[in-house]
Structure 1
């Protein structure tokens, strides 16, 4: 891998569309509606928490209906000056934790470190058409978040490589991906497979359930 090159990068995003007109249809037992007219974009997905963790609420609709090709113009300020940090400051959390004002000022922005993570530290121009809410994968290196990740691969068969929510919120709010903020359920409710497709075996409806803390992990085969 050449750190000054982008030759091995693959960049991906997905849009969600539906027909422009949705009419109640009592004969449609699945959605209850039928669509008509042109297909329009109503959402998109790429980086975890980009929408919920970085984009300001007043621009949520713009985000859902737009393309990553205009993300620097539309949301550059949201990334450089994260609203989450300002909210935490307004709630007095930083003050209660004893963070110096100088540290909080750095967290408030400009946050070039967040852009570097989004772009995997590669020399991607910070301008429309280059930097945005896309998954950036380096095909020349092993998969590990933020360079993609597979299911499982953690320190135990029921763990992922990383808690993505915790890493991203820690990066935004503390400037340190390893700060361990916003941790919740840290294990899957069943062990992942060590082979493709890596998904855990489906629950048996009679003897197995889902929910809670996922501890202890449900064993296979199910035992009455």
Structure 2
């Protein structure tokens, strides 16, 4: 395997540039990402991004493609009728790609939704009366007659600035229009027998302008993120002897959200569509925006979703690149601000990365004083989370910013051979799987455990202060705790046992509302 990034001597100059050049930049009011991680976005779940994946496709015969998956609307209960979990028709959902390392989008994929309301009614006595449900019978095909409300979406590709760049519509080859059908949520087996086959009818082979043959799917999926969610936020309410014993990775707790669903916006596009020139590393993140003004109708008209009227410019309210950043890195006063910001403005959040509070909180929660690294400011975290790792996924001339970074020149690893701990697992186990987090993110990557290792100084310890594999981490090993605490710490849930599909859209069929 070849790693196509030049080695840098240290990330310290990058840190200096980050703090000096960006620290004074101001942002408009904001909001956040992931599973209800910021105060404002918790009240708007339809535009709350939960997870973002970006990886070389590992489906057989598809290694020339990159898969992008943006998940929204967290913690969906499968039985959530009668309305279920439709996305917001007054919102703009976007996936952004930076292909030259300048922390600004070069390509944006824009999704917008609409509800096709059929106003199904039944004759009751001498009246015709509207039904109260989203379906009136069995559903087996896209836009089935029995769907009282059918979600549709458009997909545009924008090159350049997301608001002023050149925009082109992606056409639906099945009907010759710019409208695509989104499958109904998995109401249950009586309404939707054989849901997997029904959903597969909504995977579209499309020709994205300037990209060529690609695939798109938008629809409900089973939650693919594994986490011991309740105990983690209850001051890590788990026995220290368990969560510091790697042999007990499956012994302590169930995956708190395995019975939940999410809504996925999934694209598979050729690598050449996303890269520019000789640069093989791309950066990616997802956002959601809403209109600046909203008027609540005192007497809403009859129809569907008519209680508000919106207008004005788009305002970003959700942002997600690297996982868990807003939950456990950004301080509470700035969580909403982070969600409204763009990567080019990330200098204002630099202190949260260079002087993280999570290690100190873990010392308190676990009653293990002295485990927090003291190599402050944490240049190793700047490299891992803001610039990419030299020799792996750092683009030339990178501007430090928070986003997923993927080196598209690194070949995908087949699912069965993927290391649960990605690059960390390769360092520890002598494997050769550099196609995983933090080099992009795959569904199987255990990002909770990997992030715990990284924040507690584990990459410095594993990498010998940057001397192995061409890494250029700024570590100062004398200030990183010796011993193996960083490598032992885990949340007691094994991401690798979550069920996934072998190919696009990779995330599993959603759980049904009834069996």
TM-score by length of 2: 0.32
Paired residues for 1:25-36 under 5 Å:
25=297, 26-27=300-301, 29-30=304-305, 32-36=307-311
Compared CA separation, residues 56 and 31, structure 1 to 2 (3 A): farther
Question: Are the aligned partners of 1:163 and 1:183 in contact in 2 as well (CA < 8 Å)?
Answer: no
The partner residue of 1:106 within 368, 374, 381 is 374
What is aligned with 1:182?
Answer: 491
What is aligned with 2:449?
Answer: 166
What is aligned with 1:80?
Answer: 354
Question: Is 1:42 matched up with 2:314?
Answer: no
What is aligned with 1:130?
Answer: 399
Structure with greater proportional strand content: 2
Paired residues for 1:6-21 under 5 Å:
7-21=279-293
The partner residue of 2:438 within 132, 146, 154 is 146
Question: Are the aligned partners of 2:360 and 2:372 in contact in 1 as well (CA < 8 Å)?
Answer: no
Question: Is 1:64 matched up with 2:368?
Answer: no
Work out which structure has the larger RCO, using CA pairs closer than 8 Å and 6 or more positions apart in sequence: 2
Give the drift of 1:29: 4.3
Structure 1, residues 32-89: CA drift from partner, whole Å, max 9, x if none?
A: 4331122111121111011112111111122122111021x21111101002123334
Q: Find the aligned partners of 2:305 and 2:448 in 1 and give their Cα distance.
A: 31
Question: Are the aligned partners of 2:373 and 2:457 in contact in 1 as well (CA < 8 Å)?
Answer: no
Compared CA separation, residues 33 and 83, structure 1 to 2 (3 A): farther
Extract unaligned runs of 5+ from structure 2.
Answer: 8-100, 102-278, 412-434, 460-486
Q: Find the aligned partners of 1:180 and 1:31 in 2 and give their Cα distance.
A: 49
Compared CA separation, residues 77 and 8, structure 1 to 2 (3 A): same
Extract unaligned runs of 5+ from structure 1.
Answer: 152-159, 208-224
Q: Find the aligned partners of 1:19 and 1:204 in 2 and give their Cα distance.
A: 33
What is aligned with 1:115?
Answer: 382
TM-score by length of 1: 0.69
Structure 1, residues 118-138: CA drift from partner, whole Å, max 9, x if none?
A: 23312859x9x7111111110
Question: Are the aligned partners of 1:20 and 1:40 in contact in 2 as well (CA < 8 Å)?
Answer: yes
Give the drift of 1:180: 3.6
Paired residues for 1:197-208 under 5 Å:
197-207=505-515
Question: Are the aligned partners of 2:6 and 2:390 in contact in 1 as well (CA < 8 Å)?
Answer: yes
Aligned residues: 185
Compared CA separation, residues 193 and 30, structure 1 to 2 (3 A): same
Question: Are the aligned partners of 1:79 and 1:114 in contact in 2 as well (CA < 8 Å)?
Answer: yes
Compared CA separation, residues 197 and 76, structure 1 to 2 (3 A): same
- Superposition RMSD in Å: 2.9
Question: Are the aligned partners of 2:330 and 2:352 in contact in 1 as well (CA < 8 Å)?
Answer: yes
Q: Find the aligned partners of 1:47 and 1:168 in 2 and give their Cα distance.
A: 10
Give the drift of 1:141: 0.6
Q: Find the aligned partners of 2:318 and 2:348 in 1 and give their Cα distance.
A: 15
Structure 1, residues 140-190: CA drift from partner, whole Å, max 9, x if none?
A: 113311112333xxxxxxxx2x21122213322x222643422436432xx
